[in-house]
Structure 1
């Protein structure tokens, strides 16, 4: 195992205190939506396949929880290319803007949606069993807009909003109903302490859809999903990339407990904390470009800057601006964690 410099005692209550904005915990918690399996394997020194190994990784590196996916068998068409990252896994795949499995009403009527009974929660259940004392499990699932776009294609969805909006409506509603069931199931698990909802709603300069379209199609499902998590007493955390400035009031009104994913050229986390930190917790904040291409010294310096700006008053956890991808140097990743451990104890003095 790569050295991480400590064997911390987990305290999921510390993380909950941050995301619920209940004041300052004893130290700044660490946060991630996800860490690529190749990174986990490089740190642990062995392939990571089981839920138990995932828990061991998150625990060993000082997190108070492990974030574990519910696996939904979506039908997708993907492009592929060789993975050229420092820790490659063969091929990298993605859904392009023009890739679609549904392009018309006829396609939609033939399309087979995953059934709630086909969603696989075994990793979450295994992680719950493996969690040590004080350690939490956060259930992870992807979002309504994301999965509707992956089904219709971004280009296709854009055209259909004008040409046949009811196809968009019915697609979004099918996705939303399934995800509502998934969140209901995860939030109802005694061993799940929170939900992480991945919903990329923007790109560098704007939201993916207009605010009007988001309000008509997507936000009603978000409100139901957030209310469902809260009905079980579980906080629900929004991961959303991109420029969301025109959507922010709607996001805040939905009731998400925390917002994750920040890019410095779009909105640095310090700006988010200054503008909205009295209404929502802020999570992450160390820009992916810096993590991927910067030096360890630069990463440490940025961690100190973010802690100084965001930690006072609580409502903050530190981590990457997105996820720990397999192109992030291990040294930079561990430097981020170590500097937070060194500098993140309250009262903040860095």
Structure 2
């Protein structure tokens, strides 16, 4: 691929985007891609996740090779429901909750982020190209993990029938995520944090704005504060409808960037026009659009989005969510090619 390995990373470009400034050159953003694509970019087989450091080196080569100024990674293998569900049969998120009353809450084995190995964040320093940084994302977010533990239906019942228990569950999840990010942000290799927490359906948030303010926001504010107290930016990756709470995301939680967009909720073009200058807009080329559109139409829309943001800044090009394996690779390359070929 003639567009690969043409740019040296410069994390300052992404920092300028996150300050709602104009970067020195059009900038890319992606939360994650897939091993098939990573293998194409690097020209080698994925080492798998058994050796965390070797896999992180593989990700470094893939992200930098494609033209990104950073590399996304988890800080460690720390997690919540998924860790304990691995010991059980595959279960439905909604029908087979792990925590649904005080007894199951007391029985649940809460793990400690400090018990997990984060040494790869230090060891990768010598491998990171000059100018590149890590972006540490979480093992799911505050609301996502509570929903995984309780099931969505049970969570909704608890809002009215057992709010004290629900508040305890949010506290146990939230304080551990805060600790997870506190550990990660201390490493010099880490340039920013990603708080990844899906908040909504296509037409509304999972919880009412009032419930979000009571249960979810306090922990997101603490996560954002962890980043900012260490002079590092933090991005909210949140799928679904969040338009009714965008003012809170910008002004109360003070996230530096917002990622994840769907055309059937609000196109990234319209979102950018409404929120530019207040929060960085990251990605947004709709996944379904990428799947169903021609290479030329993808280039046209991607180029137009770059042009739209040239004067005001605060935008980085990428997909609306991630790059799943079912997006044809030529369409992904069509999207990113515009920053390599045209600018």
* Change in 2 beyond 3 A, CA 1:265/1:37: same
| 2:80/2:111 contact within 8 Å kept | yes
Which position in structure 1 is the counterpart of 2:215?
Answer: 217
- State the shift of 1:126 in Å: 4.1
Give the whole-Å Cα distance in 2 for the aligned partners of 1:31 and 1:95: 32
Which position in structure 1 is the counterpart of 2:81?
Answer: 75
Which position in structure 2 is the counterpart of 1:195?
Answer: 193
Q: 1:48 aligns with which of 28, 31, 46?
A: 46
Deviations along 1:267-318, one digit per CA (max 9) or x if unpaired, are 1112222211121110001100012232211211110222222343111111
Give the whole-Å Cα distance in 2 for the aligned partners of 1:294 and 1:189: 41
The 5 Å alignment of 1:1-350 reads: 2-21=1-20, 23-49=21-47, 50-70=55-75, 71-76=77-82, 77=85, 96-141=93-138, 142-253=140-251, 254-343=253-342, 345=343
| 1:12/1:65 contact within 8 Å kept | yes
Deviations along 1:86-105, one digit per CA (max 9) or x if unpaired, are xxxxxxx8963334211111
Deviations along 1:131-172, one digit per CA (max 9) or x if unpaired, are 011111111113111111111111111111122112211111
Which position in structure 1 is the counterpart of 2:52?
Answer: none
Give the whole-Å Cα distance in 2 for the aligned partners of 1:122 and 1:65: 18
* Change in 2 beyond 3 A, CA 1:98/1:294: farther
Give the whole-Å Cα distance in 2 for the aligned partners of 1:117 and 1:333: 37
| 1:116/1:178 contact within 8 Å kept | yes
Unaligned runs of 5+ in 1: 79-92, 346-350
Give the root-mean-square deviation of aligned CA atoms.
1.9
| 1:102/1:152 contact within 8 Å kept | yes
Count of residue pairs the alignment pairs up? 329
TM-score (norm 1): 0.89
Which position in structure 2 is the counterpart of 1:82?
Answer: none
Give the whole-Å Cα distance in 2 for the aligned partners of 1:270 and 1:311: 13
Give the whole-Å Cα distance in 1 for the aligned partners of 2:341 and 2:92: 40
Give the whole-Å Cα distance in 2 for the aligned partners of 1:8 and 1:146: 36
Secondary structure of the 2:282 match is: strand
Deviations along 1:40-80, one digit per CA (max 9) or x if unpaired, are 123333332321111011111111111111221323348xx
Deviations along 1:222-253, one digit per CA (max 9) or x if unpaired, are 11111111000000011011111111111112
Unaligned runs of 5+ in 2: 48-54
TM-score (norm 2): 0.90
- State the shift of 1:327 in Å: 1.1
Give the whole-Å Cα distance in 2 for the aligned partners of 1:237 and 1:279: 13
* Change in 2 beyond 3 A, CA 1:173/1:328: same
- Write out the 4+ residue segments of structure 1 that deviate beyond 6 Å after TM superposition: none
Secondary structure of the 1:238 match is: strand
Which position in structure 2 is the counterpart of 1:85?
Answer: none
Secondary structure of the 2:318 match is: strand
